[in-house]
A and B are shown apart, each in its own frame.
Chain A
Amino acid sequence: MSSSYDPVMLSRILTSLTLAFHIIYATIGVGVPLMIALAEWIGIKRGDPHYLLLARRWARGFVITVAVGVVTGTAIGLQLSLLWPSFMRVAGQSIALPLFMETFAFFFEAIFLGIYLYTWDRFKSRTAHFWLLIPVVIGSSASAFFITIVNAFMNYPVGFNYVDGKITDVNPLAAMLSPAMPTKVAHVLSSAYLTCALVLAAIAAWSLLKGRDHVYYKKALKLTMISALVFLFSTAIIGDLSGKYLAKYQPEKLAAMEWHYETTTNAPLVLGGVLDENNEVKYGLHIPNALSILAHGYPSAEVIGLNDIPADEHPPLYIHYLFDIKMGYVAYMTFVVLLFAVFMKLRRTNPYAKWLLRLIIASAPVAMLTIEHGWIFSEVGRQPWILRGLMRTSEGATTSDHVDTMLVVFSILYLVLGVTSVRVLTRMFRTNRAEDELIARGIDGGEGGVKG
């Protein structure tokens, strides 16, 4: 058993496991406050109690996901030092500032979320309560912003000199402004908003599909799907810019992702396909010039190929599949969101048709899978580096025993947390349906105070 003990590999697995689990809750944590704010704002502006209840019910479920997000976030924060001590020693020198700022954003969010949740009926003015949510929205997005800056630094470290394994002349602000930062941060935020809009849309679609055709659910679906449309466009534009970033600063990732070997102009984009033992692409669909356009914006642009990069610095080639799968998901989401928008606009079609509702429900897990795939693609794509060009992943890991035991312990923990949180959430909304609450609160039917 001890002969197969490999702390580097085990540390990588444990870190990916923690992140993969955390990202689900973290994404919800970033996007849902914005959606709650949107609903509450519309509710106040239009004097429509349906939207206010929507915000209230979303907020109630949000607390459960925040709890899991907070504890797994604490886990990843500590695990960074426990599993990657040598890396954190370097990162502590160079990138402590955004890490530190992230905790402030988190602090800010935590304080106002507590206040927001317990003051629904405490202020005379509805807007006063609404304003309490703004720090939550800012705090949650800002913590995603700062933590993504740390990740951008790992993809493209700047702002210091690195001599013989030692960091000197650190410029903390410059380290935050890595070339990878703008596209990464924007993509993370925009895709989190998109995912949350679709997750909340799926909940509304689910109720409608069950034949509960209260106007409350239709309003919820409309609001979330229109938001999804907006975020879909912004995410797509930023995604395109991310490709251009890669071509300029991390060509090895782009080349591995597209199985692009020879440095050429008019480079084609490969969709699908498999790679044989001679590194020949088989069965792939080649779109002429598309890679050059993706990378530089014009068809005759030169794209660097893998052959110009030392073999021991090649990222794993399977990231091509990850990228293709991800783009497949994106195509699906685009299709569903556009379809709903068109059906809404055309008066003769029914946007609440059962088959369309089913497609919308499916788009929520698809959106979450896209987030996971995107992250795995991005993280695996910078292997073998933990700090690109500076420190290999193997040099950053712990040498400690017991990583294998911890892997088992944390796997069980995430399984238990995942299952319980889903059970608590479903029970929460099944025992207290929106229709019942509308009546109980005297919004519909005017029977105030009657509990359903």
Chain B
Amino acid sequence: MSYEVLGITVLWLFLFGYLIVASIDFGAGFFSYYSSVTGTRHLIQNVIERYLSPVWEVTNVFLVFFFVGFVGFFPDTAYYYGTALLVPGSIAIVLLAIRGSYYAFNTYGSRTSKMYMLLYGASGLLIPAALSTVLTISEGGYIEVSGSREVRFLFWNLVKSSYSWSVVLLAIVSVLYISAMFLSYYAHKAGDRPAFEIVRKYALAWSLPTIMCSLLVFFSIRGHNPVHFDKMLDLTGMFVLSFLSFLVAVYFVWTRKQLGWAFVFVMLQFGFAFFGYGAGHLPYILYPYLTIHDNFTSEAMAVALVIVFVLGLLLLIPSLYLLMRLFLFDAKYVKGNFDKH
């Protein structure tokens, strides 16, 4: 495997990791707010908080890791995307900032505020929308590069494009779906029957829209970037596997059994689709201006980054395992038998 492919695979893996953990987090924030409006907050709040509190910081790092690594491996992306993304990127930063800090203010501060909850819940749905513009832009058609390599972002093209809106829709819907599927597993594990029944309903309610939006995006790529669409057709198997994983996941939740496996299949569902989409996109990072071979970082830097990456993983994987052991797979903690602080 060349360093380019290795680099992009590693980064894609981290983006996938972010997609899963952030979706759980974003969706949970929304459900938490929604439940306080509909008067079921007391039922599901404990489960949500018990999961989120120890991990909210880690979620953010996945994103930072992705974009720092991206600029490291593919320095030219900083130039093209940096210029184009000033507005959507800044909006995403502001939303992330509000969300992260107000989560802490709400959870660790001395009182809960409705205002904080609204900010926290609403930002959770807007962030995926803002971040998904990066994926939209990567398909080409929203950036113009002049002769002197000056980059101009065609903002109105993005706003008017039906493709970009289908991506936004998919981002929001899948956040709610992934989150509800995870919370079903977590509530079940906690033995919290009332909470489980509520989040199970959320999960099932968002399953159909998720698969419909996936199809919508799939077919609107055909109109927007036929080259990419044809490449994805070559990888049909991936998307079929994704759909089958979806069926298994929903079946388990429907029948209220094997909820751990149900979530594994949710991850497989998104994993197959995400990697299928990514593989079809290659070799382009920004169609048609940038491929992974253009201005790839120097070999010395690539080697150094890969070495650091492997060493970093040796540190991270046991630490993440410890985190999960203590807060995700520890029956006593999940059931709420420990004091906070």
Q: How far is the CA of A234 from the CA of B272 in the complex (A)?
A: 54
Q: Are the C-beta atoms of B81 and A417 separated by less than 8 Å?
A: no
A-facing residues in B37-83 (Cβ within 8 Å): 53-58, 60-61, 63-65, 67-69, 71-76, 78-83
Which residues of chain B are near A45, meaning CB under 8 Å? none
Which residues of chain B are near A417, meaning CB under 8 Å? 97, 101
Which label, helix, strand, loop or mixed, suits the secondary structure of the A interface? Answer: helix
Q: Is B160 an interface residue (CB 8 A)?
A: no
Q: Is A56 an interface residue (CB 8 A)?
A: yes
Q: How far is the CA of A79 from the CA of B339 in the complex (A)?
A: 39
Q: Are the C-beta atoms of B110 and A77 separated by less than 8 Å?
A: no
Q: How far is the CA of A150 from the CA of B302 in the complex (A)?
A: 17
Which residues of chain B are near A86, meaning CB under 8 Å? 79
Which residue of chain B has its CB nearest to the CB of A175? B301
Q: How far is the CA of A41 from the CA of B164 in the complex (A)?
A: 54
Q: Are the C-beta atoms of B104 and A93 separated by less than 8 Å?
A: no
Q: Known contacts being A114-B54, A172-B301, is A410 close to B94, with CB within 8 Å?
A: yes
Q: Is A68 an interface residue (CB 8 A)?
A: yes
Q: Are the C-beta atoms of A170 and B338 separated by less than 8 Å?
A: no
Which residues of chain B are near A96, meaning CB under 8 Å? 68, 71-73, 75, 297, 301, 305
Which residues of chain A are near B327, meaning CB under 8 Å? 114-115, 118
Q: Are the C-beta atoms of A64 and B82 separated by less than 8 Å?
A: no
Which residues of chain A are near B236, meaning CB under 8 Å? none
Q: How far is the CA of A24 from the CA of B49 in the complex (A)?
A: 28
- Distance in angstroms from A162 CB to nearest chain B CB is 13
A-facing residues in B287-317 (Cβ within 8 Å): 297-298, 300-301, 304-305, 308-309, 312, 315-316
Q: Is A66 an interface residue (CB 8 A)?
A: yes
Which residues of chain B are near A63, meaning CB under 8 Å? 104, 108
Q: Known contacts being A67-B100, A413-B97, is A88 close to B341, with CB within 8 Å?
A: no
B-facing residues in A125-178 (Cβ within 8 Å): 135, 167-173
Which residues of chain B are near A94, meaning CB under 8 Å? 301
Which residues of chain A are near B86, meaning CB under 8 Å? 82-83, 398, 400, 402-403, 406
Q: Is B234 an interface residue (CB 8 A)?
A: no
Task: State which of A287-295, A375-383, A424-432 sits at the interface with chain B.
Answer: A424-432
- Distance in angstroms from A99 CB to nearest chain B CB is 5
Q: How far is the CA of A60 from the CA of B341 in the complex (A)?
A: 8
Q: How far is the CA of A120 from the CA of B338 in the complex (A)?
A: 9
Q: Are the C-beta atoms of B300 and A170 separated by less than 8 Å?
A: yes
Q: How far is the CA of A398 from the CA of B301 in the complex (A)?
A: 25
Encode contact with B along A108-119: 1 for CB under 8 Å, 0 otherwise: 101111110111
Which residues of chain A are near B99, meaning CB under 8 Å? 71
Q: Known contacts being A74-B64, A135-B319, is A66 close to B110, with CB within 8 Å?
A: no
Q: Known contacts being A64-B109, A77-B67, A88-B75, is A107 close to B61, with CB within 8 Å?
A: yes
Which residues of chain A are near B68, meaning CB under 8 Å? 77, 96, 99-100, 102-103
Q: How far is the CA of A117 from the CA of B104 in the complex (A)?
A: 13
Q: How large is the interface on B (under 10, 10 to 19, 20 to 34, 35 or more residues)?
A: 35 or more
Q: Is A275 an interface residue (CB 8 A)?
A: no
Q: How far is the CA of A96 from the CA of B63 in the complex (A)?
A: 16
Q: Are the C-beta atoms of B320 and A111 separated by less than 8 Å?
A: yes
Q: How far is the CA of A74 from the CA of B92 in the complex (A)?
A: 11
Q: Which of A110, A117, A400 contacts B83 (CB 8 A)?
A: A400
Q: How far is the CA of A399 from the CA of B83 in the complex (A)?
A: 7
Q: Are the C-beta atoms of B315 and A104 separated by less than 8 Å?
A: yes
Q: How far is the CA of A266 from the CA of B231 in the complex (A)?
A: 73
- Distance in angstroms from B145 CB to nearest chain A CB is 12
Q: Is B247 an interface residue (CB 8 A)?
A: no
Q: Known contacts being A88-B75, A97-B305, A108-B315, is A71 close to B96, with CB within 8 Å?
A: yes
Q: Which of A77, A99, A121 contacts B338 (CB 8 A)?
A: A121
Which residues of chain A are near B105, meaning CB under 8 Å? 64, 67, 420-421, 424
Further contacts, 11 of them, CB under 8 A, given A111-B316, A172-B300: A56-B341, A70-B57, A71-B97, A75-B93, A83-B82, A85-B78, A92-B297, A110-B57, A117-B341, A424-B108, A424-B109
Return 11 A-B CB contacts under 8 Å, by A number. Answer: A67-B100, A71-B96, A71-B101, A81-B89, A91-B75, A96-B73, A103-B64, A111-B320, A113-B57, A118-B53, A122-B333
Closest 4 CB pairs of A and B: A92-B75, A96-B72, A67-B104, A85-B82
| Chain A residues within CB distance 8 Å of chain B | 56, 59-60, 63-64, 66-68, 70-75, 77-79, 81-86, 88-94, 96-97, 99-104, 106-108, 110-115, 117-122, 135, 167-173, 398-400, 402-403, 405-406, 409-410, 413, 417, 420-421, 424, 427-428, 431-432
